[in-house]
Amino acid sequence: MLRSLQIFVDLVTTENFTETADRNYLTQSAVSRHIKSLEEKLGHRLIARGRGQFQLTSAGKLTHEAARDVLARMDELEQQLHQDSDIEITGILRIHTTQIPGIYRLPDIAGKFLTEFPKIDLQIEFSKNKDIYESLLSGAIDLGIVEHPKPHPELNCEIFNHEPLVLIVPHNHELATQTSIKLKELNGQAFVTAHQGVARRDAFDKLIEDHNIQISYPYAFDNVEIVKAAVKNSMGIALMPRIAVHQEAGEDFVAVEINDRTLKRPLGVLHRKAEPLTAAAKGFLDTLVNTSMPSPAMD
């Protein structure tokens, strides 16, 4: 209901559904739904319809005054809670993440976060980029962590790391004797990668297209562990984040550096613009962006 009250106050301020929608990163129809829901909840019409100009009903005027008081009190409460270090932060923090950051980066982050906020029920689930965006926009989760984030008008995004990429090849592959290669040397190779529509596959396709390289995709697996196993069993080669392969490199397959410093995978954390972060979400975000994430050396 607080969300609807904020939208109603913004509508009274702007007297315009389009501007209110822009302020709250919503569509005009979504603003209308919030107002209708508020009217149904209160049992009164808040806006006088059909008079050619924006005008509140008597109930609307009372609601506007009360809504401003409620929102002001909530802001004051949040500030007091943030300032009071003796108040222990509790609640549920829901995070969806893609595989690479979820497997190789978040365990360390989660450990540090829970040390500082032990009463938080931290719920982390794996998902695809597209599904993470949808879950955020629907309000089902608090934070989303994705690879190759794309801008969205209703979401804030902070890039917290750039993962260096390396090529992994089977021991019997022609490139296995190389320590580093140029991108153009990938021409004609058979790659194991994710399916189309997965962010890392789409980014790889664009990289190959931009450099006019011709390759084939005999196999596609979305799970990174299966991709590594496929390379180990000579089913193809793969471009992988260094963090995901440094332990197996040399034993299960060979890691070959590519001479391109721009060859990195950006990782971003997303949250909704229209809603302030909870204390738990802010704490996790601060832990995430302030934790050093060095790239491991290849043996």
Q: Could you give the residue ranges of the DSSP H alpha helices within the chain?
A: 2-14, 17-23, 28-42, 58-83, 99-104, 106-116, 129-138, 199-210, 224-232, 242-245, 279-290
Domains of the chain, first to last: 2-83 (1.10.10.10), 91-161+266-290 (3.40.190.10), 163-265 (3.40.190.10)
Rg for the chain (alpha carbons), in Å?
25
Give the Å distances, CA to CA, from 248 to 14, 82, 197, 256, 299. Answer: 59, 44, 27, 13, 9
Identify the CA nearest to 259 among candidates 163, 147, 148, 167.
167
Of 124, 123, 117, give the one whose Cα is nearest residue 101. 124
pLDDT by residue, tens only, the chain of 299 residues: 778 888 888 888 888 888 888 877 678 888 888 888 888 988 988 888 766 678 888 898 999 999 888 888 877 776 666 665 556 778 899 999 999 999 999 999 999 999 999 999 999 999 999 999 999 988 899 999 999 999 898 899 999 999 999 999 999 999 999 999 999 999 999 999 999 888 899 999 999 999 999 999 999 999 999 999 999 999 999 999 999 999 999 999 999 999 987 789 999 999 998 888 888 999 999 999 888 888 787 66
Residue with tokens 């009463």: 119
For the purposes of burial, counting CB atoms within 10 Å of the CB of 222, is it exposed (0-12), middle (13-18) or buried (19 or more)?
A: middle
**Which string of DSSP letters, residue by residue, matches 246-283?**
TTTBTTTBEEEEES-TT-EEEEEEEEESSSPPPHHHHH
Give per-residue burial for 62-99: e unless 16+ CB within 10 Å, then b: ebbeebbeeeeeeeeeeeeeeeeeeeebeeebbbbbbb
